[in-house]
Amino acid sequence: MTTDTATDSGPLSLSESAARRISVLIEQDGDPALNLRVSVSGGGCSGFQYAFSLDNDVKGDEIVIERDGVSMVVDQISLMYIAGSEVDFIENIGGSYFVINNPKATSMCGCGNSFGIAI
């Protein structure tokens, strides 16, 4: 397991807004050992799709990003597609949701959960 506590360096970063939201979700669940898991899988209208979940299972080869007392976990395969990205949390009139600002994405669907990468 690799841990990165920097907020703007390393393989992936976590915004202040996302860290606050993770903290709220953990508090609501009552399990302080929870992490935000970020993963990428094939599918979606643009080729790949993001997934977010809360769990407390961290495997030895996964990357753990810490910020403001919370952690985000990503597996090595997903990291290949989102390295250099920032995970953020948006709240606006359209709703509230986690979003990945991915510099590798060459296309996205309208909802922002699906993306494509040029190979």
Strand pairing partners for 99? 88
pLDDT per residue over 43-101, tens digit each? 766 677 889 999 999 998 999 999 999 999 999 999 998 999 999 999 988 788 898 88
pLDDT at 103: 85
Q: Give the pLDDT band of residue 4 (cuts 50, 70, 90).
A: low
CATH code at position 55: 2.60.300.12
Strand pairing partners for 78? none
Q: Are 83 and 11 in contact (CB under 8 A)?
A: yes
Long-range contact list for 97-104, CB < 8 A, 24+ apart? Answer: 98/18, 98/21, 98/36, 98/52, 100/38, 100/50
Residue 8, pLDDT > 50, answer no
The total domain count for the chain is 1
Structural domain boundaries enclosing 71: 2-116
